[in-house]
Chains A and B, each alone.
Chain A
Amino acid sequence: MIASAKAKWNDLHLFYSHRRYTAPVPESAALEIENLCVNRPNENVLALENISVRVPIGTRLALVGPNGAGKSTLLKTIAGLLPIRSGKLLIYGLPVGACHHRVAYLPQRGEIDWRFPITLRRLVMTGRYVHLGWLRRPSPRDWQIVDQIIARLGLSELAERQIGQLSGGQQQRALLARALAQEADLILLDEPTSAVDAETQAIISRLIAELSRDGKTLVVATHNLERLESDFDSVLYLREGRQVSESALQHTR
């Protein structure tokens, strides 16, 4: 009886929608997009037109193109932040929003209120919230995961700093730490290396390689064309919301 009451309670979806874990469809790609069209927010103008791309599990796709090409829009659509106008978008064989556990999204830095009174450690912990749901507080294991990831990104000494007191590169690493804390399979990164110091760039590059080795799938919007060959398996070129080309990068990993 308690179990059925609990199931009903979860079905209310009052604040969290579909927060239960859903298993992936067997043999599906990490990301499968076909003829995807997306409107600009609150406008009936296309921001993305007929995008098609398939990203196998464990590979790394770079999104490349000038500002306003639609890289961020594509990432936001995959993250479930923008509605799809037409076309198909499947994540591990499931529609967007079917399993929030599986997708982590690193936004551009400007989209967060950095003056908010919260420490770096707590910011990273918000990556665990999808596993907690409501009313549950983080367990010692959650804190352990968070502290390990903070150490991996070289931020341990800054863990108790208020997030506004971090440098741009440190803030970027904190956001990446949060995306990792989520333990997602598909990781979306929006310009993770733009306007950051050399140390942060090196750490982020190293992590992208490590994550891919762990079987994670990455989709990364980037301006850094020099590292394309070394950091990615394929590239999607975008211009004015359209796909210019999609190509695999030839290299040995």
Chain B
Amino acid sequence: MISLNDLIEPFVRFQFMRHSLLAVVMVGTLCATIGVYVVLRRMAFIGDALAHTVLPGIVLAYFNGLSLFLGAVVAGLLTALGIGWLSRRETLREDTAIGIMFTFMFALGILLMSTARSFRDFTHILFGNVLGVTPGDLTLIGVVSLIVLGTLLLFHKEFELTSFDPIHAEVIGLRADRLRYALLILLALTVVTAIQAVGVVLTSAMLVTPAATASLLTNRLPRMMLIAVVVAISAGVIGLYFSYRYNVASGAAIVLACSVLFGLAWLGRTLRRALSGFWARYR
């Protein structure tokens, strides 16, 4: 049996474990909160897409000796605006627009990359390494978290309304399209920041799985965000611990922990429904 001491030992002993713990907590909170909108607005595909479309920005920034993060942010914002523009007024469905921007930007990145001699410099930023986050990364994640969570909090009622009834929003003069752009931009910032710290796969998982888990357990928006954050942080801590204890890849361990929590929530809901059906029949 694992004791509490065993559980906290790696975090007390190693600074890099403390740093990665902090990164996972912040990225988990950030991704899980905005992830609730991603899931409710059926944009699950977009996190994955954004994670790939930053590639040309990174490559160009690298060639010109600029900050890779800045390149990623610019490419992410361009993607977000491109998706918003292509799918405005339902000319194209949003998932189609995402598919087009995703492949275009990723192919552009590959093309640019093929002109360089080595691919290796880019793999780090694309796949990230949660065990290797620096204090600089942590500051960056902290600042982006404040911006994104602050905006979501300030405009909560507007984001909520445009998510389920954009028509009423338009009728009362609320610009649903601009709020959609705002959300896409916040999402681009989130994804770019999270990728640098924890990689593409972990970012996609943190955006979708905790929010989906929470959506099985409640039908209140604020509670859904809270549960999603708890799920993300729990998965982060469990995953980090397992990756240390059994010497397995940390990102993958966290994603699997997320999936297991989702599975448990699913199982719990199914059992609850079956039981309430059973009681209803035999009472």
A139 within 8 A of B: no
**Which of A75-109 touch B at CB < 8 Å?**
79-81, 97, 100, 103-105, 107
Give complex CA distance A129, B155 in Å. 12
Q: Which residue of A lies closest to B225 (CB)?
A: A117
- Which of A13-21, A30-38, A53-61, A195-203 lies at the interface? A13-21
- Which of B68-76, B98-106, B162-170, B191-199 lies at the interface? B162-170
B176 to chain A, nearest CB (A): 9
Q: Which residue of A lies closest to B170 (CB)?
A: A81
Give which listed residue, A97, A113, A162, A164, contacts B173 with CB less than 8 A: A97
A166 within 8 A of B: no
B40 within 8 A of A: yes
Count of A interface residues, CB-CB < 8 Å: 36
**Chain A residues with Cβ under 8 A from B179's Cβ?**
15
Secondary structure dominating the interface of A? loop
Question: Are A117's CB and B155's CB within 8 A?
Answer: no
Count of B interface residues, CB-CB < 8 Å: 30
**Chain B residues with Cβ under 8 A from A119's Cβ?**
220
**Contacts A15-B179, A42-B89 given; does A107 touch B167 at CB 8 Å:** yes
Secondary structure dominating the interface of B? helix
Give which listed residue, B154, B171, B218, contacts A135 with CB less than 8 A: B154
Q: Which residue of A lies closest to B42 (CB)?
A: A113
**Contacts A15-B158, A162-B219 given; does A126 touch B175 at CB 8 Å:** no
**Chain A residues with Cβ under 8 A from B221's Cβ?**
116-118
Question: Are A129's CB and B171's CB within 8 A?
Answer: no
**Chain B residues with Cβ under 8 A from A145's Cβ?**
none
Give complex CA distance A135, B164 in Å. 19
Interface 0/1 of A17-47, CB less than 8 Å to B: 1110000000000000000000001100000
**Which of A156-195 touch B at CB < 8 Å?**
162, 164, 178, 182
**Chain B residues with Cβ under 8 A from A116's Cβ?**
40, 163-164, 221
Residues of A near any B CB (own CB < 8 A) = 13-19, 41-42, 79-81, 97, 100, 103-105, 107, 111-113, 116-119, 126, 129-130, 132, 134-135, 137, 162, 164, 178, 182
